[in-house]
Amino acid sequence: MSERIRIFESTLRDGEQTPGAKLNAQEKLEIARQLARLNVDVIEAGFPISSPGDLRAVQQIAREIKGPVIAALARTVKEDIACAWDAVKDAQKPRLHVFLGASDIHMEKKFRKDPQTCLNEAVQAVKYARSLTSDVEYSLEDATRAREEYIYQVVEAVIDAGATVVNIPDTVGYAVPEEFGALIRRILTNVPNAHRAVISVHCHNDLGFAVSNSLEAVKNGARQVECNINGIGERAGNAALEEIIVSMRIRPDHFPFTTGINEKEIYKTSRLVSKLTGIPIPVNKAVIGINAFAHSSGIHQDGVLKDKSTYEIINAELIGGQAAQMILTARSGRHALRNQLEALDYAMNDAEFAEFYERFIELADRKKEVYREDLEALLIDVSYTDPIYGLEYLHTVGGTRTIPAAVVVLMRGEESLEAVSSGTGPIDAAYKAIDMITDLNIELGSFNIRAVTQGMDALGEVSITIKHEDKHIIGRGMSTDIIEASVKAYLDGINKLINVKAHNNIQP
């Protein structure tokens, strides 16, 4: 049977140390609730001595969240440990996590203390923590730059003092996988009482090895892994939880281990953490980035359409994400477009499809990559109104120290109608030119603009309301050019209005 690895989640402590990622108590609680749904074994909720706000946030989490162990961090000083205990004592399963530097660099330069003094401090701190609770973790900060003999001494002493978990952090992300795995193996072999505690690892990503180092450590006997959602954390971040879990799932031949993680909650957790911390998920981030399940090249798309296994090793549904999407381009072809439309549950007959294909090509020519969201917007943009006026030509000028102006040419049947106007801006000028042609007494109500997808070339969708006599009409337009999208929205509204008036219709 495969061995169970405990997942210690530190997004709310080390993750919160990411520059700019400060969370308030409510946000921390919301993330903690989601981490409980994800079913992590331990939530490191904060560093209570760091601020009264963090103390309160950890207290709230400890009181509300049931299931995972709730841990709080403390230095080896009594005041820190007492404060951390105050924060977690009401938890269903509290843990105190105490740490002190173990490398000569930290002891000499940070503390100006000799190794024996630090060792004594560590032992006293663990004993004090154990007097408060039965679950005590001790971390040897900067272990990967410490002398190995000293590591053995500290591990043995803190286990004797009562530590139930001993953590070996690669604090500065200095280790490489083979070396780190071997260190864990030697600790387990050479420290006589090592089997009495769970050996944990905590890897930073300065050289990009955080996940590899963690997995290598597990292969060599570590049974707790400390990791964070989206790999956020101090400096280059910590090992990414989602990468560790999915690696174990996809490569059990190399990582024959289980965890308690509810994998289907990964996607949601990742998005929530990104939203609340304000740290975006890189598009190419392993497992969770938007491109991780997207196929761009025509050859890849063709392969995936024939059989997913050609270019896909992870099924997005595994982590509760949406099925793989094809990023369509003008060269994707009709087969790929039809397939995407079917995936979106849009059935079209051949004539409708032919017309839609023209619209798609027009968009793909302007916007190199067409995402699922673009297609959805394009589908919504299909107007069910007879177009009375069609946009034939639009030219606008705007900017600093110029008078904004627009030249608009509309087609009404075979007739070409042109107007030129100035305005407060290019959109206002274009609307005034359209008013001159259509000669309707129209009042503009709301005007909303939004980007459909990300990036500089994103489709812009404009939605407006126009008022004419007692009628309120909604007009919508889309384009990669927001001025054109605005003009299309105005014309859409005008066309609908004329149709309503002609048929004395119920308003759309």
| CA 131 to chain CA mean position, Å | 40
CA-to-CA separations, 26 to 53, 63, 437, in angstroms, rounded = 11, 13, 55
CA-to-CA separations, 224 to 3, 102, 164, 218, 242, in angstroms, rounded = 11, 20, 12, 8, 15
174 binds ligand KIV (CB under 6 A): no
Residue 139 CB, nearest approach to Zn ion (Å): 9
170 binds Zn ion (CB under 5 A): no
Segment lying near ligand KIV (by CB under 6 A), choices 25-33, 152-160, 166-174, 460-468: 166-174
220 binds, among Zn ion, ligand KIV, none (CB under 5 to 8 A by kind): none
Segment lying near ligand KIV (by CB under 6 A), choices 108-116, 167-175, 208-216, 326-334: 167-175
Kindly report the backbone phi and psi dihedral angles of residue 445, in degrees, each rounded to the nearest multiple of 5, phi listed first. -95, -110
Give the nearer residue to Zn ion in terms of CB position, either 14 or 135.
14
Residue 171 CB, nearest approach to Zn ion (Å): 6
Closest of 448, 440, 451 to residue 464, by C-alpha:
448
**Around 403, how many Cα atoms within 13 Å sit in the side-chain half-sphere?**
5
14 binds ligand KIV (CB under 6 A): yes
Choosing from 202, 295, 372, 496, the residue that interacts with ligand KIV (CB under 6 A) is 202
Residue 305 CB, nearest approach to Zn ion (Å): 44
**Helix or strand (DSSP H, E) at 165:** strand 165-170
CB of 429 within 8 A of CB of 404?
yes
Residue 170 CB, nearest approach to Zn ion (Å): 9
Which SS3 state, helix, strand or coil, does residue 507 take?
Answer: coil
Segment lying near ligand KIV (by CB under 6 A), choices 54-62, 165-173, 275-283, 309-317: 165-173
Segment lying near Zn ion (by CB under 5 A), choices 7-15, 29-37, 301-309, 423-431: 7-15
Closest of 171, 176, 139, 143 to residue 238, by C-alpha:
171
254: number of Cβ within 10 Å: 11
Q: For residue 398, count CB atoms less than 10 angstroms from its CB and return exposed for 0-12, middle for 13-18, buried for 19 or more.
A: middle
Binding mask 105-144 for ligand KIV (x = CB under 6 A): ----------------------------------x-x---
List the structure tokens of 149. 């003999």
CB of 7 within 8 A of CB of 40?
yes
List the structure tokens of 446. 């709301």
Q: How far apart are CA 182 and CA 314, in angstroms?
A: 30
Which residues, 71 to 110, sit near ligand KIV by CB under 6 A?
Answer: 99
Q: Tell me the Cα Rg of the chain.
A: 30
Residue 239 CB, nearest approach to ligand KIV (Å): 11
CB of 42 within 8 A of CB of 9?
yes
99 binds, among Zn ion, ligand KIV, none (CB under 5 to 8 A by kind): ligand KIV
180 binds ligand KIV (CB under 6 A): no
Residue whose C-beta lies closest to Zn ion: 14
Binding mask 9-48 for Zn ion (x = CB under 5 A): -----x----------------------------------
Give the nearer residue to Zn ion in terms of CB position, either 75 or 432.
75
The residue with tokens 């309503």 is 500
Closest of 200, 221, 214, 282 to residue 243, by C-alpha:
214
Interface size with Zn ion, residues (CB under 5 A): 1
Interface size with ligand KIV, residues (CB under 6 A): 9
Give the nearer residue to ligand KIV in terms of CB position, either 16 or 492.
16
Residue 127 CB, nearest approach to Zn ion (Å): 24
Residue 75 CB, nearest approach to ligand KIV (Å): 9
Residue 175 CB, nearest approach to ligand KIV (Å): 12
Q: CB neighbours of 342 closer than 8 A, spacing ≥ 6?
A: none
484 binds, among ligand KIV, Zn ion, none (CB under 5 to 8 A by kind): none
Q: How far apart are CA 330 and CA 348, in angstroms?
A: 20
Q: Which residues bind ligand KIV (CB under 6 A)?
A: 14, 99, 139, 141, 167, 169, 171, 202, 204
Q: Which residues bind Zn ion (CB under 5 A)?
A: 14
